[in-house]
Amino acid sequence: MTNPDILIVGAGHNGLVAAAYLARAGRKVLLLEQRAVAGGQLAGATLTSGAVVPGLHPAGQLRPAIVKELDLARHGLATSVADAAYISALPDGGSLRLVSSANDAATVEAIRRLSQRDAERWPEFVAFMHRASAFLDAAYATTMPRLPQVDLRADGLPLASLALKLRRMGGKDMFRVMRSLSMSAVEFTEEWFESEPLNAAIAGVAIHGVTLGSMSAGTGFTLIHNWLNRGGLAHRTTTGGPQGLTDALVKAVLANGGEIRTGAGVAQILVEHQRVLGVRLESGEEIRASTVVSSADPRRTLLGLVGAPELPPEFVWQTQSIRMRGSVAKVFVQTDGRHGLPEGTIAIAPTLEYLERAYDATKYGEMSQQPYLEVTTSGTDVTVHFQFASYALRRADWDSMRTELEKRAIDTLTLHFPAFKGSIQSVQSITPVDLEQSWGLTEGDLNHGQLILDQIFFMRPLPGWSNHRTPIDGLHLCGSGLHGGGGISGTPGRNAARVLLQR
Amino acid sequence: MPELSAVHHPLYQLRRTPFHARTSQLCLPHNWRRWGGCLAVGSYDLGLDREYWAIRNHAALIDISPLVKYQIAGRDAARLLHRLTPRDIHKMQVGQVYYTGWCDDDGKLLDDGTVTRIGEQDFRLTAAEPQYRWLSMNAVGMQVQITELTERMAALSLQGPKSRTILNLACEQPVDSLRYFRMAFNRVAGKAVSVSRTGYTGDLGYEIWMDAADALVIWDALMTAGHDYGITPTGILAMDMARVEAGLFMLDVDYTSASHAWIPGQRSSPYEMGLGWTVNLDKQGYFVGRRALEREHREGSSWQLVGLEIDWEGLEREYAVVGMPPQVPASAVRGSVPVYAGPRQVGYASTSTWSPVLKKYIALVHLQQPYFTPGTKVEIEVTVEHHRRKSPATVVKLPFYDPEWKKK
C-alpha cells in the first residue's frame, strides 16, 4: 500500500477491530504485525525454546455490536454460542457444576445439595451479574472523559447518554454495582451465599488473569469484568474457536480495503516535535503516515517504540508506573484421551482461602505451591491456565522453573482427577517471560496493565489520557491497556476507531 | 539531662560549608542566613557598605558552596540537558557555560542555574534547589550518570574589577584569556580547580570550583594573593544588592518554582522572567515545555519582569508631606510591593534596593502587558511614616548596571 492514512501496530484482535472499522470508513489502513500470523493472543507461537504452542485463550467473543457492525457473520464468524458448564473440583473429590443461567434446574439442584438458601438465591444472583455486566458493557462502550479537565463539548453528550442508559437499567442496581466494584471476591460472594465451595468457584473467575487474590479489594470488579467477557462463569466455545474469530476479523479488514503485513515488526514509532511521522520497521524500512494507532501495550508503545526522550517527564513517570506484573502461565498437555476430565471450564478453586494462598506467592516473587487452575479440554488436548506464576521470580529464573511449573500444574490437577497423569503424552508450557518475548506483553501481563481500581475507567491507560490519545499528536492507542480492555472483547479497538473517525 | 529537643536533631541543623572554619572566624556580627540547608554568612560587618563596595570597586570573596551541583556524564549527557533546558546544548563547546532556566511541560520555570560543558560527555549543572528526581525522570531511556556534587564540591565566587588581577597571582595559569561564560581548569596552591568566568553580581568576576577537602587552602591562597587589592570576604546580603543592579533574579524571591506553586498564577515562564533569549525554539527535538513555550511565543506573554527606577523627585515630594527627606532601605528588600497605573494595580516589585553605585532606588518588577514596555510611567507604593503612598517610577530595561569590564 502506498501512502496509507493510518498505520496500525499489532494485529491482535483489538488492532484488527480498529483496522476493520477504519477501513470500513474509507481510510487507507495498513496493519503491521511483528509475528508471522495475525491474531495476537488468540494465535499460537513458536517460543524462543523452539516449542510450538497454541494461542492463549480457549475461547473468546467480540461484543455483539462489533460482530454486527463489522458484519462478521458474513466473514465467517460463528455467532451461536453454547451455554457452557463451569465445573469446580471440590476438596472431597466431588465437583460443583454450574451453568450461568438463572433457571438451569441442574445447577440449582447442585447448589441445593450444599445449601437450600443458596439454591434459592442463585437465580437472583445470575440475574444481578448479567445486569452488572450490562452496566459495565455500557460504560466500556463510552470513551471516558479526560479528568480532571472534562471537555464538555467532546465528552458531555456520550457521558450524558451513558448516565441515561445506566439510569434506565435501574438506579438501585447501579448503586449495588458501584458498591460491588471495590469489594473483594470474598466479601462479595459471602454477601450472596453461605456455601464455601460455591463462593470459591465464583471467586476463581474473579481472580482469573489478574494478580489479585480472593481477598484483594477490587476483585468484585474483576468478577463482573470477566463475567461480561465470558457471558457467565464458563468460557463459551464457538465453532471455529479463537482462530475463527481471527479469520473473520482478517477477512473484514481485507474486504474493506485494508492491508495486513505480517512479519513486519515495528522497531520505532517515528516522532518529531511531538508529532508522529510514521514507523520504522525492524527491517529498517520506513513507512510514513499522519496517524499511527498502536495495539501494543501502553508501556511498550510509549517507552519502547516511541521512547521516553520524546515524551514529557511527568507522562513518562506515569507510564512507568502502570502496573503490569503478569502472573499467569499456561501448560498444554497432549493426552491419550483418557484424562478423565469433564467437558467445560474446570476450576481448581476449592476454597476462598486456597485462592488467597495461591496469590500470596506473587508477593514474594514465587510460584504458587498449590495453584489456582482453570482447565479446558479439546479432544485429547488439555489446556491449563496456571496462577500464580510471578513474572519476576525472586530466587530463580523461568528457564530453570519451567519443569517445576509443569509438574505443579499436573500434580494439582491429578489430585482432583487421578486418571490425568497416566494419560499424558507430551507437555509444553508458556511462562510469563515467554508471554513477554513471544507475544510482546510487558511483564507477561495478558491485560496490558492490571485490572485494578486505579487502572480502570478514566484512569486507563493513564489518568488524564483516557481518550486513546497520547502527548504525541497523531499517535493513538487501541489495545487492551485501554478502557474496556483486558480479555477478549474488541471494545478498545472499536472505541479507538470511533475517536479517530470523530475528528 | 533533658532530652534533646527537635531543633537539635541533625535533620534540623544547618550544614556548615567547607569554608566554615574561616567564615565563622570572620563573621563578627553572627549575621547568618540559611541557604540551601547551609549556614551562609549574611554579612561580615554590621553594615553592608564595605562588602558592597568591594564587589563594585575591588574584589569580593563569596562562599557559594551551598549551590546545588550535579555532574551529568555519559553518552547521553548532552541529550539529557538538551531535553531538560530550552537551550541548544548540542551547540555548546567544551569549556562553555550557559545560563538557563528549566521548565515543567506547561513551560513554567522550575529552577535556574548554569550548565558547564566540562568535556564532550561531561557536564556540570548548578541549581538553587535539589533536582535529582527531576533529572532522573528526564533521563529515562538514556545512558547517563547523574551524580550530586553539592557537598563534595566547594565553590567560591571572586567578584569585582580586581578579581582577574588577584586570580592571575593565585592561579598557576593566567586567566586573562578566559572569556565571559567560559570555564578552564587551573591550579591554586597546587590544588586542582576549575575557574569559570561567571557570577551573580554583574561585574567582572569568576567562580572557582574545587574539591571540598581543598577549600581552606584555596581560601587562604586567594586571601593572600588578594591582600594588596582589597579582597574582602563578602556575605550574601551585599551580593543581593549587586544582583538586583545586574538585573538577576532569585528563586523563591522573584519567582516561584512551578513545583512549589500553590496556584497556577504563581508560576512564571522564561519569557515572563525576561529569559526569552535562552529559549531556542528552533533547536532539534523535544524539550520539556516546548509546546507551551511555542504557544506563548506566538501569542505573547501577559507578564514580564523588568526594571523600575523610582523617580527621586517624586519620592522627595511624598516624604516632604511629613517634612522628611526620602528614606531608602539599607539592604535589598525581598517583599512584594504593589505597582499601579492610575488607580489600578498592574504588577508588583519582588526585590527592591537602593543602588549605591547608581545613586538610584531600583526594583525588579513584574508588570502586566502592556505596562512592561520600557519608558512606561507607573507608580509604586511607598510607606512614608506608616502611611501608604504612591511614588512615580519609570519602567527600564534590565540590567540597571552593566560596566564595560564585565565582558571585556
pLDDT tens-place string over residues A288-304: 999 999 999 999 999 99
Please state, in angstroms and rounded to a whole number, the distance separating the CA atoms of residues A331 and A386.
7
Nearest beta carbon to residue A314 from set B79, B83, B105: B105
* pLDDT level of residue A412 (50, 70, 90 thresholds): very high
State chain A's mean pLDDT as an integer: 94
pLDDT digits (tens, 9 = 90+) for B37-68: 999 999 999 999 999 999 999 999 999 999 99
pLDDT digits (tens, 9 = 90+) for A308-335: 999 999 999 999 999 999 999 999 999 9
- Of B15, B36, B32, B14, the C-alpha closest to B24 is B32
A331 near A384, Cβ under 8 Å? yes
Q: Give the pLDDT mean for A467-480.
A: 97
Please state, in angstroms and rounded to a whole number, the distance separating the CA atoms of residues A32 and A286.
12
Which has more pLDDT, B113 or B3?
B113
- Of A332, A277, A346, A333, the C-alpha closest to A305 is A277
Q: Do B134 and A308 touch (CB under 8 A)?
A: no
Would you state the pLDDT for residue B245?
98
Would you state the pLDDT for residue B11?
64
**Res. B333: pLDDT tops 50:** yes
**Res. A7: pLDDT tops 80:** yes
Tell whether the torsion through CA atoms of B229, B233, B237 and B240 is positive or negative.
Answer: positive
Q: What percent of chain B has pLDDT over 90?
A: 97
**Res. B1: pLDDT tops 70:** no
State chain B's mean pLDDT as an integer: 96
User: Can you list the positions of beta strands (E) in B82-230?
Assistant: 97-103, 109-119, 122-127, 145-148, 153-159, 183-188, 191-196, 205-211
Please state, in angstroms and rounded to a whole number, the distance separating the CA atoms of residues A335 and B85.
63
Tell whether the torsion through CA atoms of A172, A174, A179 and A184 is positive or negative.
Answer: positive
Q: Give the pLDDT mean for A183-192.
A: 98
Is B295 in the A-facing interface, judged by CB distances under 8 Å? no
Bond before A148 cis per omega within 30 degrees = yes
Would you state the pLDDT for residue B7?
60
CA distances from B350 to A199, B3, B242, B402 (A): 66, 42, 15, 21
Q: Do B104 and A314 touch (CB under 8 A)?
A: yes
pTM: 0.92
Q: Do B140 and A308 touch (CB under 8 A)?
A: yes
Bond before A371 cis per omega within 30 degrees = no
A137: phi then psi, degrees, rounded to nearest 5: -60, -45
Would you state the pLDDT for residue A102?
80
Q: Which residues from chain B sit within 8 angstroms of residue A311, using beta carbons?
A: 286
Please tell me the least confidently modeled range out of A25-39, A169-183, B20-34.
A169-183
Is A274 in the B-facing interface, judged by CB distances under 8 Å? yes
Would you state the pLDDT for residue B10?
67
- Of A5, A3, A2, the C-alpha closest to A503 is A5
CA distances from B369 to B108, B257, B300, B311, B343 (A): 18, 22, 9, 22, 16
**Res. B30: pLDDT tops 80:** yes
Would you state the pLDDT for residue B278?
97
A-B interface: how many C-beta pairs under 8 angstroms?
42
Would you state the pLDDT for residue B3?
57
